Amino acid sequence: MKILVVDDAPEIGILMEDVLNPHGFEVDSAPSANAAMEKIRKSPPDLILLDIMMPGKDGYEFCAELKTTTFRNIPVIMVTVKRDREDVERGYRVGAADYVTKPFDPDDLVIRIKKILGKKG
C-alpha cells in the first residue's frame, strides 16, 4: 500500500517512513499541494497524510479540491498541530477521513491507517 505524505517539513516525511515502512507501507513525500497533485496524477496513492499549514495552498484547500477530482476516493488523514474544534470540524467538512494532531502516537496512526484502508479494500 502506497501512502503520500504532504508536508512542507521534510523531517515529517522521514518520520512517516520510519513509522510506516515496518508495517509494509510504501511512503512517498511531497512538500506542497501542487507537488502532491503532480505525484497523484502520475501514481495515485492508497492514502494521503496531509498537513494543513503549508505555503501556497493549505491542506484544507487541497483536500477540498482533491475531493472534486477523479481522485476523490483516496482517503485523506489530516496530520497537523491545529487542534481547535473548529479546525477538526473544518477538516472533516472538506473531506478528511480522519484527523490526527501532532505530536501523534505512531501506533495510533498505524491503527487509523489500517482501519481506513481496510474499509477501502
The single-letter code of the amino acid at 107 is D
- Map grid coordinates 497533485 to a residue: 37
In the prediction, which pLDDT does 109 show? 96
Which pairs from 26-32 meet CB under 8 Å and 24+ separation?
A: 26/1, 26/2, 27/2, 27/3, 28/2, 28/3, 28/4, 29/4, 29/5, 30/4, 30/5, 30/6, 31/6, 31/7, 32/6, 32/8, 32/56, 32/57
The DSSP letter of residue 53 is: -
Q: For residues 35 and 67, is the Cβ–Cβ distance under 8 A?
A: no
Query: pLDDT, tens digit, for every residue of 65-113?
Result: 999 999 999 999 999 999 999 999 999 999 999 999 999 999 999 999 9
What gap in Å lies between CA 117 and CA 9, rounded to an integer?
25
Q: Are 2 and 36 in contact (CB under 8 A)?
A: no
Which amino acid is residue 113, in one-letter code? I
Domains by residue range for the chain, with CATH: 2-120 (3.40.50.2300)
pTM: 0.95
Tell me how crowded residue 9 is: count the other CB atoms within 10 A of its CB. 15
Name the pLDDT band for 120 (thresholds 50, 70, 90).
very low
